[in-house]
Structure 1
Amino acid sequence: MPDKYSPQHWSQLDTEEQIRFWQGVEDGHVDSFLVAPERKRTRRRRGEHSTRPKCENPSWFRPENYKKLGGQLGHAYNRLVKKDPETGMLSLRMRMSLHPYYIQHRLKAGRTYSFRPEKQRLLDAMWPVLISFCDAGKHTVGMYITKLAEKLSPKDAKGNVIPGTEVTVSRVSNLIAEQVRYGVLGVSEETQWDQESRKRLPKYVWVTIQGWQMLGVDLMKLQEQQQKRLRESEERRRLIEEGILGEDEDISAHAARKRWYLHRSQETLKQRRAKGAARKRANRLARLPEDQQIHEMARFLKKTLPANEVYYYSDDQLNQLARTHLYQLELSLAAPPPH
């Protein structure tokens, strides 16, 4: 069957179309035996906006005040990053985007061509961040995708992301999704909708065995160090306290990751709902005069603070604490509370 997007020979046309074709030959309008297909009408037009990323050259290296990574994590980081002994400047020693694995498994990831230069630079800059914040036991990266994008973004002297030059979350999210298809990264599949903040819970990633092989670490030593850290992990201690795990039993990395993600999800939900409740309280108090705001906040503190703590507060101290909480809610008390 001929392709609808490729030219057809006149013999493949219908009878009526063949008649029109030969009439065109006799009139001199047709000079080829191949008939171009009719293109489908569409309203889509190429935009005039630039498709260049906001941050074309992202980079991140461990600051000097960070503790040096030990074991195979440190070995992997040193394979990625080098330091000039004369100037002290840090630069990439190995560019992960040029690894042969990405060429051999293109079809597995649904790609036909190699990475574009923009994606290569983003991928090269992301691996030092992943290894730097990787847990030695669970191999999870201790930050979600929004924080990863923030780490890779250029910052000013105060450490704030420069507007208009940041690495967007969508770029990092798409890149990580592609790395998951390659099999070098894993991502948490449990996504839950938070009704209070109208957002999904953040996703966390971890480095797979294939990713460690690409980094060139000793897998036997890496596994020994992983098992040692898992025995000392907080997840194993909690399971032992709950009676689910025995003192002589070990926890797998998958179970530790699942337990860790559940705990982080619960903490995220608590923080979001606390922020949502504080925002509702602030909106309600904003309609009241200043003295009424202090009175309502003092009543709220009496209900929420521990009884033994409220007992020792005088009225002035409680009002002062109410002013502090109102200042934190950014309400009408513009001046900071006295200390």
Structure 2
Amino acid sequence: MIKNKPTSKLHWSQLSLEEQITFHEERSLNALDVSEPHFHVQDTDGTQEIIVSRRRRGEHSTKCLCPEPVYFRPESFKKLPGEIGHAYSRLVVTDRKTGRTELRIRLANHPVFRQLREAVGRKRGFYAIRRQLINHIFPLLVSSTDLATCLITLNISQLATQLSTKDEDGNIVERVTQYRVCRLIKELLKFGVLEAVEDGDVIKWDSFNRKRFPTHVAISDLGWRIIGIDVEKLRRQRQERLDAEYEGLVAPGEQITVRAARKRWLEQMRHKTLISRREAAVKNKLQRKLRPQPFDERMAAIADHLARSMPYSERYSMPPDEFEKLCYNRLRQLDLALHQESHSPPH
């Protein structure tokens, strides 16, 4: 292996063009080793140039984890209201004789995706796996759309979970990844069938937990039109729902626009996200602290934690057996009740 002695203390970007070429050629020769993957390129003059590549294939499979994602609204769910229910009925049909649910319309075949293909920077159409994802994500988007704000209430991770195929017990068999759903949503935003609802002044970064807040989108007017919905009728129903003092977003007698209602809804969701993340952080901290301890010491630690967090009057008036059950239930929520021991819960 050829070793190169540094001739200058400058960074390679500060060198001249010829010195940069020499620097990278020598660096490639230094990296050349029989253990490194490399290939040869034949030049026109007959000489051979060795090009080193540090890329390695890896042993993992690149096959799609869930090539056929499926979502149909469960029968136990109540019927969707207004034009949103009409949109879902246009997308999904149930055979009354067999009870089988299937797609009525496959939106991936809509002409708008061919018309705007070049405008969004695509050279070819969608692959079959992505078309399958588009066909089944629209019933999920319509099913999770809020009538008052037309916001899709599920974030990207929840959309991926709902699209994953499950067994009879509800356990995920083939998982749709969040990255796959995120890339599809970005593509649908380019085509204009979805719209971003977050303004520039909306906080997107959770500085306390150092992660982003969940992202929410909405079906655009173009998206409703390709489904076959009367957009003007949908707007009237949306305004009527807002005027009916919808779920604390609007005060009695207050007139509010859809944009302001969306902003209030997003603020409420971010507040709930902060609370759930902090509760999860406290739970993880207790798990790490109590997992190495035996069962009786865990119960004592949880009893001390509950005694400090409960009001004195409530704790003083609670019977001992109920307080013991409360401590055990708290341990069970932390998945520490029967960890490495065979203790039975209190009766």
TM-score (norm 1): 0.78
Counterpart in the other structure of 1:31: none
The change in CA–CA distance for 1:55 and 1:186 in structure 2 (over 3 A counts) is same
Q: What is the percent sequence identity of the aligned residues?
A: 37
Q: Distance in 2 between matches of 1:158 and 1:209?
A: 37
Return the offset for 1:115: 0.9
Distance 1:201 1:224 in 2: 31
Q: Is the 8 A contact 1:180 1:186 kept in 2?
A: yes
1:324 to 309, 325, 329: 329
Cα distance in 2 for residues equivalent to 1:322 and 1:203: 36
Aligned match of 2:218: 206
Deviation for aligned residue 1:332: 5.9
CA contact (8 A) 1:140 1:206 kept: yes
- 8 Å CA contact 2:249, 2:261 repeated in 1: no
Q: Secondary structure at the match of 2:165?
A: coil
Amino acid at match of 1:110: G
Q: In structure 1, what residue type is equivalent to 2:314?
A: E
CA contact (8 A) 1:187 1:203 kept: no
Native 8 Å contact 1:295 1:319 kept in 2? no
SS across alignment from 1:338: coil
Q: Which runs of 5+ in 2 are unaligned?
A: 1-43
- What is the CA-CA distance between 1:308 and the residue it aligns to? 3.0
Query: How many Å apart are 1:228 and its aligned residue?
Result: 1.0
Query: Where in structure 1 are there 5+ consecutive unaligned residues?
Result: 1-33, 242-246
- Say yes or no: does 1:125 pair with 2:125: no
TM-score in terms of structure 2 length: 0.76
Query: 2:169 corresponds to which residue?
Result: 158
Say which SS state the counterpart of residue 336 (structure 2) adopts.
Answer: coil
Determine which of 213, 217, 220 is the counterpart of 2:229: 217
Cα distance change on mapping 1:80 and 1:303 into 2, 3 Å:
same
CA contact (8 A) 1:185 1:208 kept: yes
Contact 1:145 1:202 survives alignment (8 Å) = yes
**Amino acid in structure 2 at the alignment position of 1:180:** L
Aligned partners of 1:137, 1:320: CA distance in 2, in Å? 42
Instruction: Count matched residues.
Output: 295
- Structure 1 residue 238, shift from structure 2 partner: 4.7
In structure 2, the partner of 1:114 is 125
Match of 1:11 in 2: none
1:318 deviation in Å?
Answer: 2.8
The Cα of 1:40 is off from its aligned counterpart by 9.8
The 5-angstrom pairing of residues 35-50 of structure 1 reads 41=51, 43=53, 44=55, 50=61
2:156 to 110, 126, 145: 145
Where 1:106 maps in the other structure, the secondary structure is coil
Partner of 1:97: 108
Deviations 1:221-252 (A, max 9, x none): 111111011123546x45537xxxxx2x4222
Shift of the 281–98 alpha-carbon distance from structure 1 to 2, 3 Å rule, reads same
How much has 1:292 moved relative to structure 2? 3.5
Structure 1 position 192 matched with structure 2 position 205: yes
Match of 2:239 among 217, 221, 227: 227
Task: Give secondary structure in 1 for the equivalent of 2:261.
Answer: helix
Closer/same/farther in 2, CA of residues 81 and 257 from structure 1, 3 Å limit? same
State the distance in 2 between where 1:294 and 1:219 align: 58
- Corresponding residue for residue 257 of structure 2: 252
